Amino acid sequence: MTRGIIEEVSDAELLHAGACGDGGAFGELYERHKRYLWSIALRTAQDPDDAEDALQDALISIVRTAGSFRCDSSVLVWMHRVVVNSCLDRLRRRKCHDGVPLPEFDCAAPHIAPEDFTESIDLQLAIGRALDVLPAGQREAIIAVDLQGRSIEETAALLGVAPGTVKSRCARGRHKLALVLGHLRLDD
């Protein structure tokens, strides 16, 4: 080594060293990219607590699967994908556990018949069941674009696919939903 010049170890070398048992190598790799990985997690999860948990899950996954990294892409691209997948997994799990809030009843308000809520609840259940019929890719695209109001480009980045893929998944998913939910159309 020449005096005054520091040879930097590549990300791939650090990952390989970490896979061979060098815990410090993983620490160095994380230190290099922690701001970038955090920004990806925060942008994907859109909640600091979920982003922090997802990033931690992703780092555990990176440590566990470092030995199987095939060098098809750069280490940073691979880590980016692991973080995004971890965030999406966390969002899916959270969606599954979110419930429909019960209506609030005010004692002073006039009595509201339970039938008034059944139509709304039936509609929500029908839509939920219809979304379950869709393939995962179409369901994710429909939820992101139509229910969460994300743009096509933002959804494409979130799912790691091309914008055209998001558009076609939405179109196919909407067509299937129209078929499944056709019975809900109002008769004019």
List the domain range (segments joined by +) for residue 176: 115-184
Within-domain flag for 18: yes
Q: Is there a domain that residue 4 lies in?
A: no
> What CATH number is associated with residue 45?
1.10.1740.10
Q: What is the mean pLDDT of residues 18-40?
A: 91
pLDDT tens digits for 148-188?
888 999 999 988 999 999 999 999 999 988 888 877 666 54
Whichever domain contains 173, its CATH number is 1.10.10.10
Same domain for 92 and 15, yes or no, is: yes
Last residue of a domain, one of 97, 125, 150: 97
Structure tokens at 91: 């969002």
Query: Considering the domain boundaries, does residue 40 fall inside one?
Result: yes
DSSP designation for 87: H
Whether 54 maps to a domain, the answer reads: yes
Does residue 3 fall inside a structural domain? Answer: no
pLDDT digits (tens, 9 = 90+) for 10-24: 989 999 999 898 889
The residues, ordered by sequence, that sit 6+ positions from 78 with a Cβ below 8 Å of its Cβ are: 69
Query: Is residue 63 located within the same domain as residue 132?
Result: no
Alpha-carbon gap, residue 96 to 114, rounded angstroms: 26
Distance in angstroms (rounded) separating the CA atoms of residues 26 and 62? 9
